[in-house]
Amino acid sequence: MLSMPKIVDHALYRRKLLAKCFDLFAQRGYGSLTMRQVAKEIGVSTGTLYHYFASKEELFRQLIEEITEQDILRATDKIEVQNLKTIKERILALGEFIAENEDYFYKQTLLFINFFQQPDLEQQQLVEAVKCSYKRYQEEMMKFLGINDLAIAQHVSCLIDGLISQRALDPESVDLRQQIDLLAQMLSTYLDNQPRS
């Protein structure tokens, strides 16, 4: 009996490799790892890793793109089905999503902070990839909240990033849900008091 050749879904396998790399980069940092170390830590051969990613820079760039896309898809899938009408409801739903995935967002914050702490950030393409990721999050935030004001989207993003960072330093100092509720009240009050155009 002939055995069938193994069929590999390369796109799925690449995403699985990137998922393993996420935790590794969040824990160890971008600058401290070589491709050989990455391969060893995630349990593949160096050749396999190079088959999917031409360099560490390419791996990290694809990782940033992948987590951005997956975050947006996960948040949209979780929140959009709720058919929320008001901005307050939408912010509260976003806050609930973040609270449910707090550990993941903490790791993501570590990943980005560590990347920008590199002493010789000469990889302009990687810097641009990270900036594109932030821009994409803000655009999606505007769509989700139903606003056209980038400054408000940036404010919400900064507050959420700050809350995640504060909780990482001292988890008992800030109640994430309480702070998101406060943000929802403040923002809905602010928008309700804006002149209609």
Taking alpha carbons only, the member of 64, 159, 166 closest to residue 56 is: 64
Position 65 scores a pLDDT of 93
- Residue 5, pLDDT > 60, answer no
Per-residue pLDDT tens over the stretch 58-77: 999 999 999 999 999 999 88
SS3 content of the chain, % helix, strand, coil (to 5): 75, 0, 25
Taking alpha carbons only, the member of 196, 31, 48 closest to residue 123 is: 31
Q: Where are the domains of the chain?
A: 56-192
Global model pTM greater than 0.95: no
Query: How many CB atoms are located within 10 Å of the residue 80 CB?
Result: 12
Give the pLDDT mean for 7-11.
75
Q: Confirm if 140 and 156 have CB atoms less than 8 A apart.
A: no
CATH of 56-192, one of 3.40.50, 1.10.10, 1.10.357, 1.20.1300: 1.10.357
How many angstroms separate the CA atoms of 155 and 159, rounded?
6
Position 52 scores a pLDDT of 95
Position 85 scores a pLDDT of 84
Give the pLDDT mean for 151-167.
90
Residue identified by tokens 């810097």 is 127
